[in-house]
Amino acid sequence: MAASFGMLDYIEGSVIAAVICLNIVIGFVQDYRAEKTMQSLHSLSAPVATVIRDGKVEKVKAELLVKGDIVKISVGDVVPADLRVLESMNLETNEALLTGESLPIAKSGYVIMKDELSPIGDRQNMVWSSSTVTKGRGTGIVVATGMQTQVGTIAELLRGKTAVQGGPLKRFLLKVQKSAKNILGLVGTPLQVKLSKFALLLFGLAILLAIIVFSSAKWKITGETLIYGICVAVAVIPESLIAVLTITMAVGTKTMAKGNVIVRKMQALEAVGGVTNICSDKTGTLTQGKMIARKAFIPGLGEIRIDGVQDPFDPTNGKVFFGDEEINSDYISRSRELALFLEGVAVCNLATVHRSDPTNLSSEKVTSQWKATGEPTEISLQVLAMRFGYGKEDLMRTGEWDLVTEHPFDSTVKKMSIVHHHRGRDTVEAFMKGAGEVVVPTLNISEARKEEIMAMIERLAGEGLRVLCVAHKHLINVDPHVRSEVENGMNFIGLVGLYDPPRVETKDAVRRCRIAGVEVHMLTGDHIRTATAIAHEVGILSPGMPSALAKTMVMTAGQFDALSDAEIDALPVLPKVIARCSPATKVRMVEALHRRKAFCVMTGDGVNDSPALKRADVGIAMGLTGSDVAKDAADLVLTDDNFASIVRAVEEGRRLFDNIQKFIMHLLISNISQVVLLLIGLAFQDKNKVSVFPLSPLEILWVNMITSSFLALGLGLEEASPDVMTRPPHDLRTGVFTWEVIIDKSLYGVTMGLLCLISFVIVIFGANDGNLGHDCNHSFNDSCEPVYRARATVFAVLSFLLLLTAWEVKHFTRSLFRLNPERHTGPLAVFHAIWYNRFLFWAVVAGFVITFPVIYIPVFNSVVFKHTGISWEWGVVIGACVAYLSVVEGWKAIKRWRRWGSAGRKVNGIAVVGDLEEGYEFIGETVERKQG
């Protein structure tokens, strides 16, 4: 620029400065907006706390807690504030963050500290903000929030004083390295780093190009050559690449949030579109998570059945039948067994169900007045007991029951038990409930009876019911706190079958996955028969399943875990359904998938799911039912726990990936074409052996400004192409720079560069006998008329072709004229295609329109841009556009015909074309092929 000020016209220098400033400002504004969006999204995933306010249980953001709030915490939660424990059951927390103590510490409200100044690690009646609950549950009163909490004070101390080890020199070097990395953009997600490196590469190339330009002038560098060199370099540097990438990702994150998916780690945004397998929980994700007790078997009585339930929380809705007889609470007096069974399901239960006061009596529509908190399994059992007036609340109100202890449920043990002292009977009684296979073997009954019960469980599970076995015993000479003793040798008091209907959206979402080449696996804690029945219902298993695969398609975790890694790898396919799954099985599944070079989504909600979530390519936690620990380990969080949202995230991920590929493609085409044009262009030398530039420096800058950021941004905002979910996932190992991108951009870029050169040659040599004038790089003189006209032509050709390219890269194989045949066909389809993305449409149109004033405004055109108005040359421009479109469309047609590149992406070695009818056909085929 300095050179320009000194040696060239003042006006040219200031325009160049303005253009460069504008570029910087645009980049800055984009960056700023992206940053802002990111921040607002971050607050979405802020932790929530469960508080009791005005007697009602509510969820509020942790930051809205105030001193004096009563907060409930339970296993998996991150403690939201410093709490004095009021009430607790087996409560243990991990305070490693605060005290460095890695073992969990038992907490209880009954402990009274004698010494006011005892170290915080010893204060057992307190739980500290940001520690995690590793066991049990409790309530506490908030005594400090935010920066006043213990962890807050530590954070305050640490602020600004992050200690760095090593001597001053090492520290200095580390600092330099860190800021250099920051400046160069080598921090962030893998894609960001990759593209930053790519940008650096181009930067190197830019310097090389400048050197080539100077060498061609034999290093007799005049002001013009210097500026030309600089501008050629600028042409190649991708100024807007990183900013556009950030914005595209920010917008993607926002879209995901609208679709109920919160992005916690940016890497996931890139990875989720490329997953090949989704391993999903069943309860609450594939199903509604609203269980209804359908059937119960009570020894000594028989089977009872519940029909006609509309609202799963409302105990007054639906009828209970014993045989053909409708029964109600009166029946209890006739059957002691029924009473004991109901006591069991009500007492060994942490859920609460109650009628919320009907506040809006005026409203016409009947709103559900029943509310419930707790796990769906337990809610349904509570509702069952309440049908007979035997709910936990009813029982507790009698004042007869005193809680002694509780042995909690978790998905590894799959059972729970609770011990009470019954005042009236003066007995200590234990109730247990849990999965059939876990509970039945420990019961105090004959082997034959056990087999009978197991057969009954199988039958109920085959109907898609989750079957729980309920047991009871009087504790005599048994320590109620020793779990193994309590839970052994109990009496069988009943079975209950719970139905959890699949979500309505699930079936279609599973089908969409299949068409998109993504396999869905169900990893559930349920019984194998229950799981199989539901898997059939939602289409994870289909009746057309090849019999050779039936054995491996459905497995219990026991069977799966018994296989060695080698045996798992030898399976023709990995199981579609794993029943009785524990968190460790999930980890093995992820590893098995990775050994098969698959990329997977894994969902989880429990505390123990973190390892699997971390190891999966994309770990997804449940926002509603998931524990804080799981959410913390996850990359994405579903705010509605819905399987269909995962599929939408995959779609959004693919759209994002496509769009990033699109703008990179555009950028590279523009770079290659300019390198071809500007370097080969150095060969045009006038009589004095001085190169006559085919584009003036300002033309180069202008083309770059018009065609870089706005078009790239527009491409980043493209909607999903119609086939986004009908083709197999892209390969996450290759990333964005596929062979297709490399070949296409080279072809299109070289074509474009050559067309520009040809246009120049036609104007100079075709129409003006090769007259290159003299000194036409510097300013206008009469000999320069042909060169100035030729430049305007090349300028128009290059601008127009770049603008057309923005539309052409909307799809790498489909013709722009038949971009979306599902939506529009006929000769006007092309207008729909380009109109659909308004931002891009107006960016391109503005680019077209602005070319005219640049060419025609007098003085401005000749002094600043060093070109002049043209007439017949427009024929050349139109010809170049037609030629370019023919090459691009022709190449796309060849790709479609030969099934090259993305036109023939394959799943498991088989090309997927359009809609796959049934997934099993092709999986079966693959297996046969592998075996044969």
Ligand X SMILES: Nc1ncnc2c1ncn2[C@@H]1O[C@H](COP(=O)(O)OP(=O)(O)OP(=O)(O)O)[C@@H](O)[C@H]1O
Q: Which stretch binds K ion (CB under 5 A): 117-125, 647-655, 702-710, 739-747?
A: 702-710
Nearer to ligand X, 524 or 691 (CB): 524
Chosen from ligand X, K ion, none, partner binding at 705 (C-beta under 5 to 8 Å by type): none
Count of chain residues binding ligand X (CB under 6 A)? 19
Q: Is 434 in the site for ligand X (CB under 6 A)?
A: yes
* 415 contacts ligand X (rule: CB under 6 A): yes
User: What is the DSSP pairing of strand 277-280 with strand 600-604?
Assistant: parallel
Shortest distance (Å) from residue 380 CB to ligand X: 10
Contact residues for 627 (Cβ-Cβ < 8 A; gap 6+):
75, 76, 77, 605, 606, 607
435 binds ligand X (CB under 6 A): yes
In the bound state with K ion, the residue whose beta carbon lies nearer, of 209 and 870, is: 209
Let me know if 410 is a catalytic residue: no
Taking alpha carbons only, the member of 447, 438, 412, 434 closest to residue 494 is 434
For 436, list phi and psi in degrees, rounded to 5: -50, -55
Closer CB to K ion, 202 or 880, in the complex: 202
Q: Single out the segment in contact with ligand X by CB under 6 A; choices: 199-207, 407-415, 661-669, 727-735.
A: 407-415
CB of residue 241 vs K ion: minimum separation in angstroms? 9
- From the list ligand X, K ion, none, pick the one residue 226 interacts with, judged by a Cβ distance below 5 to 8 Å according to partner type: none
Count interface residues toward K ion (CB under 5 A): 1
User: Residue 380's binding partner, choosing from K ion, ligand X, none, with beta-carbon cut-off 5 to 8 A by kind?
Assistant: none
Question: Of the two residues 741 and 903, which places its CB atom closer to K ion in the complex?
Answer: 741
Establish if 416 lies at the interface with ligand X (CB under 6 A).
yes
3-state DSSP assignment of residue 16: helix
Instruction: Say if residues 304 and 329 touch (Cβ distance below 8 Å).
Output: no
- CA angle centred on 468, ends 463 and 473, rounded to 5°: 150
Residue 527 CA to residue 497 CA, distance in Å, equals 11
Closest approach, Cβ 653 to ligand X, in A, equals 23
Q: Which of 69, 77, 82, 281 is catalytic?
A: 281
Q: Closer to ligand X by CB, 216 or 405: give it.
A: 405
Nearer to ligand X, 377 or 902 (CB): 377
Distance CA 371, CA 347 (A): 19
- Site for ligand X contains 282 (CB under 6 A): yes
- Tell me the residue nearest to K ion as measured from the CB: 704
Q: What stretch of H or E contains 393?
A: helix 392-397
For position 724 contacting ligand X by CB under 6 A, the verdict is no
For residue 388 the two structure tokens come to 């007979």
Taking the complex as a whole, the smallest distance from the CB of residue 53 to ligand X amounts, in Å, to 27
Q: Which does 704 bind (CB under 5 to 8 A by kind): ligand X, K ion, none?
A: K ion
Helices of type H across 291-347? 336-347
Helices 643-680 and 506-515: angle between axes, nearest 10 degrees? 30
CB of 415 to ligand X, least distance (A): 5
**433 in contact with ligand X (CB under 6 A):** yes
Residue 248 burial (CB count, 10 A): 24
Is 466 a residue that touches ligand X (CB under 6 A)? yes
Tokens of 435: 């999965």
Residues within window 252-281 making contact with ligand X, judged by CB under 6 A: 281
Name residues contacting ligand X, limited to 758-797 (CB under 6 A).
none
Per the CB < 8 A criterion, the answer to whether 369 and 454 are in contact is no
Q: What are 228's two structure tokens? A: 């030309």
Q: Does 704 bind K ion (CB under 5 A)?
A: yes
Out of 45, 88, 411, 585, the residue judged to bind ligand X by CB under 6 A: 411
Q: Name the residue nearer to ligand X (CB basis): 487 or 873.
A: 487
Nearer to ligand X, 456 or 468 (CB): 468
46 or 455: whose CB is closer to ligand X? 455
Residue 742 beta carbon to K ion: minimum distance, rounded to whole angstroms: 19
Q: What are phi and psi of 373, to 5 degrees?
A: -125, 150
Q: How far is the CB of 919 from ligand X (least distance, A)?
A: 21
The Cα–Cα gap between 72 and 910 comes to 53
Rounded Cα gap, residues 760 and 772, in angstroms: 11
Residue 407 interacting with ligand X (CB under 6 A) = no
Q: What secondary structure does DSSP assign to 366-377, as a single string? A: ----EEEES-HH
Residues 373 to 392: which contact ligand X by CB under 6 A? 375, 377-378
String marking each residue 510-529 x if it binds ligand X according to CB under 6 A? --------------xxx---
Q: Which stretch binds K ion (CB under 5 A): 112-120, 192-200, 696-704, 911-919?
A: 696-704
Interaction partner, residue 225 (K ion, ligand X, none; CB < 5-8 Å by kind): none
Q: Cβ 316 to ligand X, closest distance in Å?
A: 24
- In the set 409, 492, 560, 663, which binds ligand X (CB under 6 A)? 409
Paired tokens of 901: 């590149």
**Minimum distance of K ion from residue 755's CB (angstroms):** 19
The interface partner of residue 264, options being ligand X, K ion, none and the CB cut-off 5 to 8 Å by kind, is none
CA distance 868 to 858: 8
Contact 128, 95 (CB under 8 A): yes
Sign for the pseudo-dihedral over CA of 647, 651, 656, 658? positive
Q: Out of K ion, ligand X, none, which partner does residue 866 contact, by CB within 5 to 8 A per kind?
A: none
Residue 316's alpha-carbon distances to 7, 108, 309, 499, in angstroms, are 92, 38, 9, 18
Window of 4-12, 370-378, 451-459, 488-496 that interacts with ligand X by CB under 6 A: 370-378
538 Cβ partners below 8 Å, 6+ apart?
286, 502, 506, 507, 510
Nearest CB to K ion, comparing residues 470 and 700? 700
Shortest Cβ 640–ligand X spacing (Å): 15
- Could you tell me which residues are beta bridge partners of residue 262? 637
Phi, psi of 115 (to 5 degrees): -95, 120
Tokens of residue 130, six digits: 């940001």
Contact stretch for K ion (CB under 5 A) within 263-271, 621-629, 698-706, 813-821: 698-706
Rule CB under 5 A: say whether 192 interacts with K ion. no
How is residue 439 written in tokens? 């509970």
Nearer to ligand X, 270 or 487 (CB): 487
Distance CA 128, CA 381 (A): 34
613 alpha-carbon distance from chain centroid: 13
Name the closest residue to ligand X (Cβ).
Answer: 525
C-alpha to C-alpha distances, 559 to 551, 552, 562, 566, 589, nearest whole angstrom: 11, 10, 5, 14, 13
- State both tokens at 637: 């969080």
CA–centroid distance for 912 within its chain: 25
CB of 239 to K ion, least distance (A): 6
Q: Quick one: what does residue 429 bind among ligand X, K ion, none, with the CB cut-off 5 to 8 Å set by partner type?
A: none
What's the Cα-to-Cα distance from 141 to each of 71, 85, 129, 461, 553, rounded to whole Å? 6, 7, 12, 43, 50
User: CA angle 774-775-777, nearest 5°?
Assistant: 125
- From the list 429-437, 629-637, 657-665, 762-770, the region that binds ligand X by CB under 6 A is 429-437
In 10 A of CB 682, how many CB atoms? Answer: 19
The least distance separating K ion from the CB of residue 535, rounded to whole angstroms, comes to 52
d(CA 102, CA 94) in angstroms, rounded, equals 7
Among 290, 295, 414, 662, binds ligand X (CB under 6 A): 414
Q: Does 699 bind ligand X (CB under 6 A)?
A: no
How far apart are CB 581 and ligand X at their closest, in Å?
A: 6
Cβ atoms of 693 and 685 within 8 Å: the answer is no
The two three-digit tokens of residue 823, written as one number: 């939506």
Query: Catalytic site residues?
Result: 281
Which residues lie near ligand X (CB under 6 A)? 281-283, 375, 377-378, 409, 411, 414-416, 433-435, 466, 468, 524-526
Which residues lie near K ion (CB under 5 A)? 704
